[in-house]
Structure 1
Amino acid sequence: MNPYRTPGAYLIQALLLCTVLTNAHAQSVHPAKKKAITNSIGMALVPISPGSFNMGATETSFSLDKKNDFSKDAPYYDETPVHKVTITYPFLISQTEVTEEQYRLFNKEYHVGKDFSPYVSGISWNDAMAFCQWLSKKEGKPYRLPTEAEWEYSSRAGATSMFWSGATPPPSDVNPWGLKGMASGVAEWCYDWYGPYTAGGQTDPVGYQSGWAKVVRGGPASTSEMDEHTKQFGPIKDLAFYRSANRGSLQPDCPAAGSTQPAPHYIGFRVVQAALPKTEATAFAYSFPLQGVIQNTALAVAGPDPAKPYFKARQVMASPPDLTMPIENETVGLDPANQGKVHSSGIVGCPNGDLLLIGFSSSRTKSESAPNATMVVTRLRNGAEEWELPEVFYDRSSVNDQSALLWNDNGTLWFFGGGRGLGTVPFVFTKSTDNGATWTPLTTPLVKGEVGPFAPQPITSAFRGSDGTIYFGSDAEGSTSLLWASHDNGKTWYDTGGRTHGRHTAFIPLKDNRILAMGGKNSNVDGYMPKSYSSDNGKTWTDKIKTPFAALGSNQRPTIMRLKDGKLFFAGDFQDIKMMDIPPPKDITERGAYVALSDDEGETWKIKRLAMAPQHNDWTGRVAKGKKPQQAWGTLGYCDVTQSPNGVINLMTSKGKPSMHFAFNEAWILSDFTGEVNELPGKVDNAKLIQQQETYKNGKARVSYSGWTSKDGFVLHGKQAWFWPNGQKQYEANYNNGHIEGVESYWNTDGSLNWTRDHTPYGTIILTKYWPDGKKKSESSWVGLTAHGPATLWDANGKVVREMMFYEGRESHGTQRAEL
Structure 2
Amino acid sequence: MANTRLGLAALLTLASLAARAQTVNSLGMKLVPVPAGAFYMGSEREGKDADESPVHRVSLSSPFQMGATEVTNAQYEAFDPQHKQLRGNRGFSTQDDEAVVFISYAQAVAFCEWLSQKEGKPYRLPTEAEWEYACRAGTVSDFSTGSSLPKAYQKNQATDRNTAVVPLKVAQTPANPWGFYDMHGNVEEWCLDWYGPYAAGEQRDPVGRAAGLYRVSRGGSFGTPVTFLRSANRLGMLPEDKSWLVGFRVVQAAMPTTAPLPPAVTPSYNAPLSQQRYAWKPLAADKPLFLEPQRYVNKPACDHAVPFYSHNHQPAVAWCPNGDLLAIWFSTDEESGREMTVLSSRLRPGATKWEEPAEFFKVPDRNMTGSSLLHDGKGTLFHMNGVETDGDWQDLAMVLRTSQDNGATWSTPRLVAPEHTKRHQVIGGMSQTKAGWLIQPADADPGPAGGTAIHLSKDHGKTWMNPAAEAATPSFGAGETGGLIAGIHAGVVTLKNGNLLALGRKNDIKAPGSAELRMPLSLSKDMGKTWTYTASPFPPVWSGQRLVLTRLNEGPLLLVSFTHHPDEKDEAAAGMPFKAADGHTYKGYGMYAAVSFDEGKTWPVIKLLTDGKARYMNGGAWTGAFEMDQTHAEPKGYLAITQTPDNTIHLLSSSLHYQFNLAWLKQLPTAATQ
TM-score over 0.5 for the pair: yes
Whole-angstrom distance in 2 between the partners of 1:124 and 1:293:
36
Alpha-carbon distance change, 91 to 472 in structure 1, aligned in 2, over 3 angstroms: same
User: How much has 1:521 moved relative to structure 2?
Assistant: 4.2
1:458 equivalent in structure 2 = 426
Deviations, residues 353-398 of structure 1 (Å, cap 9, x unaligned): 21111211121xx4x1232222222222334332222222232233
Whole-angstrom distance in 1 between the partners of 2:348 and 2:200:
31
User: How much has 1:214 moved relative to structure 2?
Assistant: 2.0
User: How much has 1:481 moved relative to structure 2?
Assistant: 1.4
Deviations, residues 553-610 of structure 1 (Å, cap 9, x unaligned): 0111111222223222221222223327995476462112223333222233322322
**Given the alignment, which residue of 596, 602, 606 partners 1:604?**
602
**Given the alignment, which residue of 320, 333, 340 partners 2:310?**
340
1:639 matched to 2:639? yes
Whole-angstrom distance in 2 between the partners of 1:413 and 1:482:
22
Deviates more, 1:516-525 or 1:27-36: 27-36
Asked whether the 8 Å contact 1:375–1:392 carries over to 2, the reply is: yes
Deviations, residues 246-285 of structure 1 (Å, cap 9, x unaligned): 2222221113xxxxxxxx3320001223213332323222
Whole-angstrom distance in 2 between the partners of 1:590 and 1:126:
58
Deviations, residues 56-81 of structure 1 (Å, cap 9, x unaligned): 23467xxxxxxxxxxxxx76333233
1:515 matched to 2:500? yes
2:327 equivalent in structure 1 = 357
1:670 equivalent in structure 2 = 666
Pairwise CA RMSD: 3.5
Asked whether the 8 Å contact 1:644–1:650 carries over to 2, the reply is: yes
1:391 matched to 2:358? yes
Whole-angstrom distance in 1 between the partners of 2:668 and 2:337:
45
| Equivalent position amino acid for 2:491 in 1 | A
User: How much has 1:53 moved relative to structure 2?
Assistant: 1.8
2:539 equivalent in structure 1 = 550
**Given the alignment, which residue of 239, 248, 257 partners 1:277?**
257
Helix, strand or coil: the match of 2:133? helix
Whole-angstrom distance in 2 between the partners of 1:342 and 1:317:
11
User: How much has 1:27 moved relative to structure 2?
Assistant: 9.4
Q: Any stretches of 5+ residues in structure 2 without a counterpart?
A: 153-172, 472-482, 511-515, 579-586
| Equivalent position amino acid for 1:660 in 2 | L
Deviations, residues 591-640 of structure 1 (Å, cap 9, x unaligned): 12223333222233322322269455467899xxxxxxxx9852351010
Whole-angstrom distance in 1 between the partners of 2:428 and 2:569:
25
2:73 equivalent in structure 1 = 100
Whole-angstrom distance in 2 between the partners of 1:292 and 1:118:
51
Helix, strand or coil: the match of 1:378? strand
Asked whether the 8 Å contact 1:531–1:545 carries over to 2, the reply is: yes
Asked whether the 8 Å contact 1:27–1:53 carries over to 2, the reply is: no
Deviates more, 1:86-95 or 1:573-582: 573-582
Alpha-carbon distance change, 109 to 412 in structure 1, aligned in 2, over 3 angstroms: same
How many residues matched? 591
Q: Any stretches of 5+ residues in structure 1 without a counterpart?
A: 2-16, 61-73, 221-234, 256-263, 322-328, 623-630, 675-820
Report 1:350-499 matches (<5 A). Answer: 350-363=320-333, 366=334, 368-409=335-376, 410-421=378-389, 425-446=396-417, 454-465=422-433, 468-477=436-445, 478-479=448-449, 480-488=451-459, 489-496=461-468, 497=471, 498-499=483-484
Alpha-carbon distance change, 184 to 476 in structure 1, aligned in 2, over 3 angstroms: closer
Alpha-carbon distance change, 174 to 376 in structure 1, aligned in 2, over 3 angstroms: same
1:249 matched to 2:236? yes
TM-score (norm 2): 0.79
Whole-angstrom distance in 1 between the partners of 2:195 and 2:498:
44
1:79 matched to 2:52? yes
Whole-angstrom distance in 2 between the partners of 1:279 and 1:378:
36
**Given the alignment, which residue of 656, 661, 667 partners 2:657?**
661
Asked whether the 8 Å contact 1:372–1:399 carries over to 2, the reply is: yes
Whole-angstrom distance in 2 between the partners of 1:336 and 1:54:
26
Helix, strand or coil: the match of 2:664? helix
**Given the alignment, which residue of 310, 314, 317 partners 2:289?**
310
- List, as ranges, runs of 4+ consecutive aligned residues in structure 1 with deviation greater than 6 Å: 25-29, 619-622
Report 1:107-118 matches (<5 A). Answer: 107-111=80-84, 112-113=87-88, 115=92, 117-118=97-98
Alpha-carbon distance change, 284 to 134 in structure 1, aligned in 2, over 3 angstroms: same
Asked whether the 8 Å contact 2:33–2:66 carries over to 1, the reply is: yes
Helix, strand or coil: the match of 1:184? coil
Alpha-carbon distance change, 55 to 382 in structure 1, aligned in 2, over 3 angstroms: farther
Deviates more, 1:383-392 or 1:285-294: 285-294
Asked whether the 8 Å contact 1:286–1:438 carries over to 2, the reply is: no
Asked whether the 8 Å contact 1:518–1:532 carries over to 2, the reply is: yes
Alpha-carbon distance change, 55 to 316 in structure 1, aligned in 2, over 3 angstroms: farther
1:718 equivalent in structure 2 = none
Asked whether the 8 Å contact 2:506–2:520 carries over to 1, the reply is: no
Alpha-carbon distance change, 540 to 139 in structure 1, aligned in 2, over 3 angstroms: same
Alpha-carbon distance change, 52 to 381 in structure 1, aligned in 2, over 3 angstroms: farther
Deviations, residues 97-140 of structure 1 (Å, cap 9, x unaligned): 11212211221111335645422112112221222233344445
Alpha-carbon distance change, 93 to 77 in structure 1, aligned in 2, over 3 angstroms: same
**Given the alignment, which residue of 96, 108, 112 partners 1:132?**
112
Q: Percent identity?
A: 36
Alpha-carbon distance change, 143 to 495 in structure 1, aligned in 2, over 3 angstroms: farther
Helix, strand or coil: the match of 1:276? coil
1:536 matched to 2:526? yes
Whole-angstrom distance in 2 between the partners of 1:494 and 1:333:
44
Alpha-carbon distance change, 200 to 647 in structure 1, aligned in 2, over 3 angstroms: farther
Helix, strand or coil: the match of 1:667? helix
Alpha-carbon distance change, 424 to 373 in structure 1, aligned in 2, over 3 angstroms: closer
Asked whether the 8 Å contact 2:561–2:592 carries over to 1, the reply is: yes
User: How much has 1:462 moved relative to structure 2?
Assistant: 2.1
User: How much has 1:487 moved relative to structure 2?
Assistant: 4.2
Whole-angstrom distance in 2 between the partners of 1:520 and 1:157:
52
Alpha-carbon distance change, 554 to 26 in structure 1, aligned in 2, over 3 angstroms: farther
1:573 matched to 2:562? yes
**Given the alignment, which residue of 66, 90, 101 partners 2:63?**
90
| Equivalent position amino acid for 1:552 in 2 | V
Alpha-carbon distance change, 610 to 147 in structure 1, aligned in 2, over 3 angstroms: same
Asked whether the 8 Å contact 1:522–1:552 carries over to 2, the reply is: no
Whole-angstrom distance in 1 between the partners of 2:412 and 2:27:
34
Whole-angstrom distance in 1 between the partners of 2:529 and 2:188:
38
Whole-angstrom distance in 2 between the partners of 1:581 and 1:371:
38
User: How much has 1:291 moved relative to structure 2?
Assistant: 7.8
Asked whether the 8 Å contact 2:565–2:635 carries over to 1, the reply is: no
1:55 equivalent in structure 2 = 41
User: How much has 1:447 moved relative to structure 2?
Assistant: 6.6
2:157 equivalent in structure 1 = none
User: How much has 1:406 moved relative to structure 2?
Assistant: 0.9
Whole-angstrom distance in 1 between the partners of 2:136 and 2:347:
45
1:175 equivalent in structure 2 = 176
Whole-angstrom distance in 1 between the partners of 2:338 and 2:508:
29
Helix, strand or coil: the match of 1:542? strand
| Equivalent position amino acid for 1:91 in 2 | F
2:477 equivalent in structure 1 = none
1:240 equivalent in structure 2 = 227
Whole-angstrom distance in 2 between the partners of 1:356 and 1:586:
33
1:6 equivalent in structure 2 = none
User: How much has 1:30 moved relative to structure 2?
Assistant: 4.5
Asked whether the 8 Å contact 2:441–2:490 carries over to 1, the reply is: yes
Alpha-carbon distance change, 28 to 433 in structure 1, aligned in 2, over 3 angstroms: farther
